[in-house]
Structure formats: C-alpha cells, structure tokens
Amino acid sequence: MAGDNDAFFDRIRRVVERCESNHTCVPQTAELPTRVLDLGVGPETPSTVVLVETKGRTGRYIALSHCWGGSLTLKTTNDNYSDHLLGIPIDYLTPKYRDAVRLTKLLGQRYLWIDSLCIIQGNTADWACEASRMAGV
C-alpha cells in the first residue's frame, strides 16, 4: 500500500487522535483478549508478527473481525498454533491483514486481534470460549 492509502491512513490517525483527546469514554487500557498478535514496538511495520497468550494482561489493541467467505489461506489451527507463537512472517499475511498491521502501527498500537488468527480454528472448545467474548473484543 502506498500513495493514496497514506492520505487515508493519516486521516484515520487524526480522527482517532481527536476522539481520544475529546472523549473521556475512550479507555486507555483494557484487558487484552486471550490471544493477540504482537507487532512489536516502534512505528515500523514488522517483518514478523507473533501470536501471544495474554494471560489477563491489560493494554490497548486494534481488532479486525470480518466475513471470511470461502476458505482462509492463513488461520491458526491446532496444527500450526505452536508455530504462530514463534512468529508469522508478514509476507504470509493476506493483503487485508497486512493493511491491518500497518494501520495498527500507524495508530501507535502494539497489539492487533484478528479473529481467524487469534481464535484457534477447528477447535470447538476454543471457538466456544472465544466466541462468547467477541462482543467485548
């Protein structure tokens, strides 16, 4: 993404900053979801994102939940869960997910929650537990 999207992302950043400075309802921190993607510190887009278990930690995060449609090219499953805890190369992410990573970093946030990566797909128990928390996410 470049060019036209830079202006769009800059506008989003300004709107969020204005909202945060003018509204007391915007929480500074909240309990993080069970799992989030850690994008690291600093403004640069990372080369790898890491799935982390938050274990009740608090912080700020951006959430992306979307209608998947069709099959997902990248999702967290029981088979790749331990790999995702070690890191997911940014190049493995779909363009939509890479855009979400970039926007999250532009907004100065370290953590990103994406449903298909932070909920273990095909794991009925994890899905039931995490789906019941989605409204809060």
Q: What pTM does this model have?
A: 0.84
Q: State how far Cα 74 lies from the chain centre.
A: 14
Contact 65, 137 (CB under 8 A): yes
Residues 107-113 have a mean pLDDT of 92
CA distance 73 to 125: 22
pLDDT digits (tens, 9 = 90+) for 6-52: 777 777 777 777 777 776 665 678 899 999 999 998 888 889 999 99
**Annotated domain spans of the chain:** 28-131
CA distance 14 to 32: 24
Band the pLDDT of 3: cuts 50, 70, 90: low
Residues 100-121 have a mean pLDDT of 93
pLDDT at 81: 98
pLDDT at 29: 80
Check whether 1 has a pLDDT greater than 80: no
Say if strands 35-38 and 61-64 run parallel, antiparallel, or are unpaired: unpaired
Mean pLDDT rounded to a whole number for the chain: 87
Contact 56, 105 (CB under 8 A): no
Check whether 67 has a pLDDT greater than 80: no
Contacts of 103 (CB under 8 A, 6+ apart): 9, 12, 62
